[in-house]
Amino acid sequence: MPEALLEVEGLTLDYHTRGGVMRAVDDVGFAVGRGEALVVLGESGCGKSSLARALMRLLPRNAGGLGGRVRLAGRELHLLDDETFRREVQWQGLALVMQASMNALNPVVKVGEQVAEPLRVHLGWERRRALARAAEVFELVGLPGDFLRRYPFELSGGMRQRAVLAMALVAEPALVILDEPTSALDVLTQAGIMNALKRVKAELGTGFILITHDVATSSELADRVALMYAGQLVEVADAETFFSAPGHPYAQALMASVPKLRQRERPRAIPGEPPSLLDPPAGCRFAARCPHRFADCDRLPPSFAPAPRQEVRCWLYKEASR
Ligand SMILES: Nc1ncnc2c1ncn2[C@@H]1O[C@H](COP(=O)(O)OP(=O)(O)OP(=O)(O)O)[C@@H](O)[C@H]1O
């Protein structure tokens, strides 16, 4: 991995619900190198958006128990108060493109003004300079400069998504978190957005955390993959290793569930359901669905077995490394 840009250790986030306290992000740790794209992959409800919210401190009212250490370019973000975090880290350090944010653009404000807003409001740039910078970023993400003067309803879904991406990039953050950036779009539009992201990555050296449930999308941009299951990471590996030789039984099952061209075997669904985050099992969270389950899996939670290119949270690997 290149020099670490973002280092996350022991990140946790709880929600207070009627049914009790739910730990949606449980002891999550990973690193993202400079200019690197880490894909956080996992099925719906496993805690991916909660992870993004925890990193950006954009928490709903019923959230609590935000814990862990987050370092960005060596700066200890967890030691900052909220006010300093918003002023000094949001937009310039870390920026987030939230799920469905292309539908959250203000309908009565021209797109260019909205994209320039982080520069004007957070960095105090005057309007003309901010709009000129917005025009540069528009071009970078593949939007014609004259679209600055359009209203959101005059743009297609893909164009609006590019505009939201431009807004995240406008203050040149070191790292952008993208939560399901293409899930509401058709495949051609998705491909266009992924190409725009590749271009930004190559030209600006921006780091990315791309959150998705879609294996095909993830393989487009990923340098490394972090696979999430029931609130925890279960595998962190470089992309090539993950896609060619997934280690965790859940990773293997996930890859086997993806249809592939010219494959004789049918895609296999993963039987069963993930456990409730309100009452997760004491041992491995995937044990109930795992074809390789043995006695230890139900009794004790596995920790990560470290390996240079692939870390796996599974007793099979712990046993092997003993
Ligand atoms: N504000 C909240 N209050 C209570 N529970 C919540 C809240 N937000 C999310 N959850 C629950 O936390 C768990 C993780 O949700 P999260 O949205 O982070 O998952 P996800 O992997 O991003 O899924 P999706 O892709 O469907 O959004 C889920 O069980 C969800 O129902």
Query: What is the per-residue pLDDT for 107?
Result: 95
Among protein residues, the one whose CA lies closest to atom 29 of ligand 1? 45
Residue whose CA is closest, atom 31 of ligand 1?
45
- Tell me the domain boundaries of the chain: 4-35+42-87+212-321
CA distance linking residue 256 with residue 218, whole number of Å? 15
**pLDDT tens for residues 116-125?**
999 999 999 9
At 289 the pLDDT is 95
Distance 55 CA to ligand 1 centre (A): 15
Residue 155: both structure tokens together: 């743009």
Cα separation, 303 vs 38, whole angstroms: 21
Gap between the Cα atoms of 173 and 35, Å rounded: 11
Question: What gap in Å lies between CA 83 and CA 35, rounded to an integer?
Answer: 27
What is the rounded distance in angstroms from the CA atom of residue 184 to the CA atom of residue 186?
A: 7
Residue-wise pLDDT tens digits, 43-78: 999 999 999 999 999 999 999 889 999 999 999 999
CA–CA gap between residue 206 and residue 73 (Å, rounded):
13
* Collapsed DSSP state (helix, strand, coil) of residue 183: coil
Q: Describe the strand order of the beta sheet including 224-229 as a list of residue ranges.
A: 94-97, 175-179, 207-212, 37-41, 224-229, 232-238, 310-313, 304-305
Q: Whose CA is nearest to atom 9 of ligand 1?
A: 50
DSSP state of 301: -
When pLDDT is cut at 50, 70 and 90, the band that residue 218 belongs to is confident
Nearest CA to ligand 1 atom 1: 60
In this predicted structure, the answer to whether residue 202 has a pLDDT above a threshold of 90 is yes
Residue whose CA is at the smallest distance from ligand 1 atom 12 = 24
45 CA from centroid of ligand 1 (Å): 5
How confident is the model over 272-310, as pLDDT tens digits?
899 999 999 999 999 999 999 999 999 999 998 878 899
Determine the residue of 12, 26, 46, 178 to mutate for testing ligand 1's pocket, defined as the one with the most ligand atoms within 8 A of the Cβ atom. Answer: 46
pLDDT band at 319 (very low <50, low <70, confident <90, very high): low
- What value of ipTM does the predicted structure carry? 0.97
d(CA 87, CA 321): 46
Q: How confident is the model at residue 144 (pLDDT cuts 50, 70, 90)?
A: very high
| pLDDT for the residue 282 | 92
Q: What is the CA radius of gyration of the chain?
A: 20
Residue 322 has pLDDT above 90, yes or no: no
* Structure tokens given for 85: 């975090």
- CA 248 to ligand 1 center in whole angstroms: 23
Residue 320: what pLDDT? Answer: 61
Mean predicted lDDT score pLDDT of the chain: 92
Query: From ligand 1's centre to the CA of 290, what distance in Å?
Result: 23
Does residue 321 register a pLDDT over 60?
Answer: no
The CATH number of 4-35+42-87+212-321 is: 3.40.50.300
When pLDDT is averaged across residues 213-236 and rounded to a whole number, the result is 93
pLDDT digits (tens, 9 = 90+) for 241-273: 999 999 999 999 999 888 776 777 777 888 889
For ligand 1, pick from 15, 18, 62 the residue to mutate: most ligand atoms within 8 Å of CB.
Answer: 15
- Report CA dihedral (320, 222, 220, 244) to the nearest 10 degrees: -10
Question: CB of 44 closer than 6 A to ligand 1?
Answer: yes
- Cα 264 to middle of ligand 1, angstroms: 36
49 alpha carbon – ligand 1 mean position (Å): 7
| Ligand 1 pocket, residue 42 CB under 6 Å | yes
For ligand 1, the distance from its centroid to the CA atom of residue 43, given in whole angstroms, is 11
Q: pLDDT class for 219, splitting at 50, 70, 90?
A: confident
Alpha carbon distance 23, 20 (integer Å): 10
How does pLDDT run across 179-188, given as a tens digit for each residue? Answer: 998 888 888 8
Confidence band, pLDDT 50/70/90 cuts, at residue 113: very high
Relative orientation angle of helices 187-204 and 157-169, to the nearest 10 degrees = 20
Identify the residue whose C-alpha is closest to ligand 1 atom 25.
Answer: 44
